[in-house]
Amino acid sequence: MLRGFYTAASGMIAQQRRTEMLTNNLSNANTPGFKADQSSVRAFPEMLLRRMDQVTVPTQKKLNLPFNPVVGGLNTGVYMQEAIPAFRQGDIIATDKKTDIALVDLQIPVNEENGKRGTVFFTVMNANGEERYTRNGNFTLDQQGFLTTSSGYYVLDDQGNRIQLNSDQFVVDENGIILENNQPVARLSVAYADNPYRLIKEGDGLYRTEDGQPLANAFNNANVQFKLQQGYIEQSNVDTARTMTDMLTAYRAFEANQKVLQAYDKSLEKTVNEIGRIG
The percentage of residues in the chain with a pLDDT greater than 70, rounded to a whole number, is 87
What pLDDT, on a 0 to 100 scale, did the predictor assign at position 61? 66
How do residues 112-165 score in pLDDT, each as one tens digit? 888 889 999 999 998 888 999 999 999 999 999 999 998 899 999 999 999 999
Res 144: pLDDT: 93
In this prediction, residue 73 carries a pLDDT of 67
User: Which residues neighbour 92 within 8 Å (Cβ) at sequence distance 6 or greater?
Assistant: 102, 104, 229, 232, 233, 234, 235
Q: What is the per-residue pLDDT for 151?
A: 87
Please give the pLDDT value at position 263. Answer: 87
- What SS3 class is residue 232? strand
Query: pLDDT tens-digit profile of 219-235?
Result: 999 999 999 999 999 99
Name the pairing type of β-strands 101-107 and 53-57. Answer: unpaired
Count of CB atoms situated within 10 Å of the CB of 76:
13
- Name the percent of the chain lying above pLDDT 90: 57
**Are the CB atoms for 126 and 156 separated by under 8 Å?**
no
- pLDDT category of residue 80 using cuts at 50, 70 and 90: confident
**pLDDT tens for residues 242-264?**
999 999 999 999 999 899 888 88
Q: What is the pTM of this model?
A: 0.79
| pLDDT band at 89; cut points 50, 70, 90 | very high
Task: Check if the beta carbon of residue 212 is closer than 8 Å to that of residue 126.
Answer: no
274: pLDDT strictly greater than 60:
yes
- Which pLDDT belongs to residue 49? 67
Q: Where are the domains of the chain?
A: 2-84+240-274, 87-234
CA 113 to CA 200: how far, in whole Å?
18
Q: What is the pLDDT of residues 169-213, one digit of tens each?
A: 899 999 999 999 999 999 999 999 999 999 999 888 899 998 889
Q: DSSP character for 156?
A: B
Q: Please tell me the number of Cα atoms within 13 Å of 57 on its side-chain side.
A: 8
Question: Coil, strand, or helix at residue 80?
Answer: strand
Would you state the pLDDT for residue 65? 65
CA angle 182, 185, 190 (to 5 degrees): 115
Reduce the DSSP state of residue 212 to 3 states and report it. coil
Q: What is the pLDDT of residue 212?
A: 84
**Confidence band (pLDDT; 50, 70, 90) for 8?**
confident
Q: How far apart are CA 243 and CA 39, in angstroms?
A: 12
What distances in angstroms separate CA 154 from CA 140, 159, 162, 207, one per listed residue? Answer: 10, 13, 6, 15
